[in-house]
Each structure stands twice: as C-alpha cells, then as structure tokens.
Amino acid sequence: MTLVILGTVAAGLYLIKRLDQAIKLSRRHMLVIVLAGFTGNGILCWRLGPQGSLSRLLLSVILGCLLLACITDLAIYQVHNFVWWFSGIAAGLLLFVEIRRDIGIAGSVLSELLAFCIIQIVLFGQLYGRADCYAFCVCAGAEVGLGMGIVGFLEHMILAFLLLTVVQAFRKNISRKGNLKKPVPFLPYITTAFYLLLFCESCQLFCK
C-alpha cells in the first residue's frame, strides 16, 4: 500500500499543477515523503494484518491525503478542498466497512465522532485554520474505523499540540505569554501525531 500512499500524493500534486500552480519539491522533501509512505504502510500492515486489505487501502488514501495537505500547507500555506473531499470519502467508506464488520461500533461511538467534528468546526475553527479542523475530523473518522473513540480523538489532539509546543520551544518561537512568535503550519504536527497514535495503538494490541 506504499504505492497507494505515494500515488495519492503524486495524483494530488498533478491535479494542483493542472488547476493552480505546480509545487516544486526538493530532493530532501521527496525523501521525507517516500519515508513517510513506507512508514505509514508498515504501521498499517502491523495494525491490520493480512485480513484488513480494504481497510488498509482506505487508510492509505487518508495518509496520502494528509501528506499532500502537509506539502501544500508548508509550501503555499493553504490546502485545496479536494484533499478533504477524497480523504473524507475514504474515512466514510472505512466507517461503513467497519460497521458492517462489527455492528457494535455504531451508536455511542458515532455520536462521539459527530460531536467531536461539530466542536472542531464550530469552536476550534476560531483558534486555528479550518484545514486543521478538517484534518482532525478525517483522522477521527479513521480512528473510529480502527476501534477508537473520544479518548483516541483527544489523545490525538493533545499529542499534536505537545509536538508543536516542544518543537517550537526548541526553535525559540514561543513568547513569554505562550503564543507563537511566528505562525507555523499545524498540519505536519497533526499528521505526525496521527502516525504516532497509530503506532502506539498497534503496540498496545501487540502486547496484549
């Protein structure tokens, strides 16, 4: 599924080139993207095993869209809407697949997902970018498909903010009031936190 992740990124960059302006990537950036693709595939294979081929495919599309969002956020400080259309559809299909497999996933967990998405868009949309809200919502949908609930959503948010704080503190980009001196893209931290959450959750399952 590494090819699916990287193919999603490549297709998105091609579409952006056709619709807007080409985004140039350095060799270092391309190497990071390739490594992220292999890492994501490894985590998904570990988490889902050979039985979750369709779920792994949908999650690969989501990871590819998140990587694409990181690229555009870092390069042009915006994310094209089609990234969230495709990742949202993939997350919705993943939910459908997992609900059919385990009907118990419905009900309270889906209510938690809906409430989380509403809070993200209505409340947190005022604190950071709308694209960041969409990223958290897409990731939450994927997390539900992987058996997580509101605790997983909150762990993802806390981890993303923790990574942002640590990195920006190291770069001396945090003022005495606790604000960023210079705004930075948040999506790379959201995506990295999502990777770490999947990895940690896979480790917990492996240890059981």
Per-residue pLDDT for the chain (208 aa), expressed as one digit of tens each?
A: 789 999 999 999 999 988 888 888 888 888 999 999 999 988 888 877 765 688 889 999 999 999 999 999 998 888 999 999 999 999 999 888 877 666 556 667 888 888 999 999 888 877 788 899 999 999 999 998 888 888 889 999 999 999 999 999 888 888 877 778 888 899 999 999 999 998 887 776 555 5
| Residue keyed to tokens 């920006």 | 168
DSSP E strands in the chain: the ranges are none
Q: What is the pLDDT of residue 173?
A: 87
pLDDT score of 164: 93
b or e along 8-41 (b: 16 or more beta carbons within 10 Å of the residue's beta carbon)? bbeebbeebeeeeeebeeeeeeeebbeebbeebb
> Which tokens sit at 26?
């350095």
**Whole-number Å distance between alpha carbons of 41 and 104:** 27
Burial readout 108-125 (b: 16 or more C-beta within 10 A, e: otherwise): ebeebbeebbeebeeebe
Amino acid at 39: T
Q: What is the pLDDT of residue 6?
A: 94
Give dist(CA 75, CA 22) in Å, integer.
10
pLDDT at 48: 78
Query: Which residue in this structure is represented by tokens 């999947």?
Result: 198
| pTM attached to this predicted model | 0.90
136: number of Cβ within 10 Å = 26
